[in-house]
Amino acid sequence: MDVVTLRNRMTLNLPIYLEDKNVDVIEIIDLFNLVEVKNKDNKKSFVIDVGALTESPIKGLSIPICFLTDRR
């Protein structure tokens, strides 16, 4: 998703997703294409690239964290 699409979806109160989670946008940092978002189920916010947000939920396409850990 790009910044223009994100702003349009925010104006129209349409849902915004990060993978399969519905998130609220707190702030858009245009200079770096970053967005501060908050999960609707959680009170913590975090900053991500705007390209990670989608218009519909995505399930099953992410890599489980266990594959990224060192298994020595």
Summarised one tens digit per residue, pLDDT across range 19-48 is: 888 999 999 998 999 999 998 888 888 899
Maximum C-alpha span of the chain: 49
Of 72 and 50, the structure prediction assigns the larger pLDDT to: 50
What's the pLDDT score for residue 6?
94
Residue 72 tokens read as 């020595």
Residues 51, 46: Cα–Cα separation, whole Å:
15
Length of the chain counted residue by residue: 72
List residues bridging with 33 in a β-sheet: none
The answer to the question of residue 34 being in a domain is yes
The answer to the question of residue 72 being in a domain is no
The answer to the question of residue 36 being in a domain is yes
The answer to the question of residue 19 being in a domain is yes
Query: Taking the alpha carbons of 43, 48, 50, 51 in that order, is the dihedral positive or negative?
Result: negative
- Residue span of the structural domain in which 23 resides: 3-67
What's the pLDDT score for residue 63?
59
Count of structural domains, the chain: 1
